Amino acid sequence: MGLARYFVKRILFSIPLILIIITINFILVHIAPGDPLSYIVGTEYVSPEYLQKLRSEYGLDRPLWERYFIYISKVLQLDLGISYRFREPVINIILERLPATLLLMLVSIGWSSAVGILIGVRAAKGYGRASDKLASTLASISVSIPTFWLGIILIIVFGVMLRLTPTQGMLSPNFMGARQLTPEMMIDILWHLILPTLTLGTVYLGTYIRSVRSLLVDELGKEYILFAHAKGLGSSYILWRYAFRAVSPSIIALLGLNLGTMLAGATLTETVFAWPGMGRLIYESAIARDYPVILGIFIFIAISVVLTNLIVDMINAILDPRVRY
């Protein structure tokens, strides 16, 4: 199969997924108790005339199937409704909060995947021995720690007892309202980032250790590895240049697949540390029952995850011909 054909196939698979996500949202809005409009724009503090206008704009006076297509076209135009807490289009609020979440996620994925790969490779190298057992135990502990508990413990230890790091927010008060990003401000943001990224990264470290280890163990059982030994190549050369290279596309694909669960972890982490990202927005909206925002974030996240997986798979297909077949 050529690259182009693989791309077309992969894109064709993503389209129904996006439709399914939009459909789930549509169904939720329509079987939820109360007026569907309250889940799209919120009905409080709105005049009856404006409500009528919205009703016809969203096609709520039309038959169901027509509404369905109106809904799909609205979502595809990135019209995710209006928040009734902020009286602003949901998409604007999401985009405003996106950079903080992306910063937290990218830094966390970066360090935890690097450390996870190192530990995972070490575990596979010592398969069945003490270092392997230790790595497995570490991985089990890491995937079992509740994000929010770890966050609270870190705040207690580093914030309350040792008073080393800031525990809330993304910026110190003296930088609030600053227009430009100065170097001092960037340092301040990184300083605030330490505890949240330690929390989020630790929880996902175990996933990387486990998958790198099991992928490598399978790879190291193949005969070409034995042959490389027979040729007289060194162990670490074989490990990194042969085995690790062979499994790296799977590791990259895994990073993409983890995105969805990682976003869930980010939500809880942001809630603990008052990090002003999308996760914190979900928490605030859930408490205020701001349905348009909650539904909007779900659609936004779900579609982003599908698209990221698509991009990751495409990059993989370019880098690794095996993926295409």
**DSSP codes joined into one string, 38-52:** HHHT--TT--HHHHH
To the nearest 10 degrees (0 to 180), the angle between helices 245-257 and 291-319 is 170
Rule CB under 8 A: is residue 233 a binding residue for other proteins?
no
Candidate ranges 3-11, 47-55, 135-143, 191-199; the one touching other proteins (CB under 8 A): 135-143
Contacting residue, 229, 241, 245, 322, with other proteins by CB under 8 A: 229
Rule CB under 8 A: is residue 1 a binding residue for other proteins?
no
Closest CA to 78 of 97, 91, 87, 59: 91
Output the smallest distance, CB 254 to other proteins, in A: 13
Q: Which is nearer to other proteins, 51 or 288 (CB)?
A: 288
Q: Which is nearer to other proteins, 53 or 289 (CB)?
A: 289
Distance CA 52, CA 322 (A): 56
Rule CB under 8 A: is residue 156 a binding residue for other proteins?
yes
The interface mask with other proteins, positions 12-31, x = CB under 8 A, is ----xx--xx--xx--x---
Q: Which is nearer to other proteins, 92 or 214 (CB)?
A: 214
Distance CA 150, CA 269 (A): 9
Q: Which is nearer to other proteins, 106 or 307 (CB)?
A: 307
Contacts with other proteins in 39-78 (CB under 8 A)? 39
What lies within 8 Å, CB to CB, of 154 at 6+ separation is: 195, 198, 199
Rule CB under 8 A: is residue 155 a binding residue for other proteins?
yes
Q: Are 60 and 37 in contact (CB under 8 A)?
A: yes
Q: What is the DSSP letter of 156?
A: I
The interface mask with other proteins, positions 276-305, x = CB under 8 A, is ------xx--xx-x-x--xx-xx--xx--x
Contacting residue, 50, 69, 235, 319, with other proteins by CB under 8 A: 235
Q: Are 192 and 276 in contact (CB under 8 A)?
A: no
Kindly report the backbone phi and psi dihedral angles of residue 61, in degrees, each rounded to the nearest multiple of 5, phi listed first.
-95, 5
Output the smallest distance, CB 212 to other proteins, in A: 14
Distance CA 139, CA 133 (A): 10
Q: Which is nearer to other proteins, 201 or 279 (CB)?
A: 279
What lies within 8 Å, CB to CB, of 168 at 6+ separation is: 273, 274
Instruction: Give SS3 for 163.
Output: coil
Rule CB under 8 A: is residue 9 a binding residue for other proteins?
no
Nearest 10 degrees: Cα torsion 302, 305, 311, 316: -140
Q: Which is nearer to other proteins, 8 or 32 (CB)?
A: 32
Look at phi and psi of residue 320 and say left if phi exceeds 0, alpha if psi is from -120 to 50, else beta.
beta
Instruction: Give SS3 for 248.
Output: helix
Output the smallest distance, CB 269 to other proteins, in A: 11
* Residues contributing to the site for other proteins (CB under 8 A): 16-17, 20-21, 24-25, 28, 32-33, 39, 124-125, 127-128, 137, 140-141, 143-149, 152-153, 155-156, 159-160, 217-218, 220-222, 225-226, 229, 235, 238-239, 243, 257, 260-261, 263-264, 267-268, 271-272, 282-283, 286-287, 289, 291, 294-295, 297-298, 301-302, 305-306, 309
